[in-house]
Amino acid sequence: MRGVSLTKQLARNLRKRSSDAERLLWFYLRDRRLEGFKFRRQYSIGPFIVDFVCLEKQLIIEVDGGQHAEMTVEDNQRTEFLKRHGFRVLRFWNNEVFSQTESMLQVIASCLTEK
């Protein structure tokens, strides 16, 4: 695509290929459904594309599948970069999104509303 950066094109492709867990979480985050805060999905921050971000609260939510069990070094480096740039990062496993949806949403809501 002419005029579209590779990062933006990658983010668009990731949105189209969201995992089931990401789609479920997006249902609760989109349209300001959680505590009235705006979230973006597959958003580019520096060299990374994060799953979900509330820019107002500088809160990032990552939903990790099994492949992340082997990527702890990369994930830690990514998290440290994001923290250095003022973001708080919450990570949830795919199975948590499905089996502990309410408690996961409470954790997110708590982070959004804390002073």
Read off the pLDDT of residues 64-73 as tens digits, 9 standing for 90 and up: 886 545 667 8
Residue 1 pLDDT:
47
Residue pair 97/21 in contact by the 8 Å Cβ criterion: yes
pTM score? 0.84
Question: Could you give the domains of the chain?
Answer: 6-113 (3.40.960.10)
User: What are the φ and ψ backbone dihedral angles of 95, each rounded to 5 degrees?
Assistant: -65, -30
Distance (Å, whole) CA 68 – CA 11: 19
Tens of pLDDT, residue by residue over 24-52, are: 999 999 999 999 999 999 999 998 999 99
Distance (Å, whole) CA 60 – CA 39: 9
Tens of pLDDT, residue by residue over 7-27, are: 666 656 666 678 899 999 999
Tens of pLDDT, residue by residue over 98-115, are: 999 999 999 999 999 986
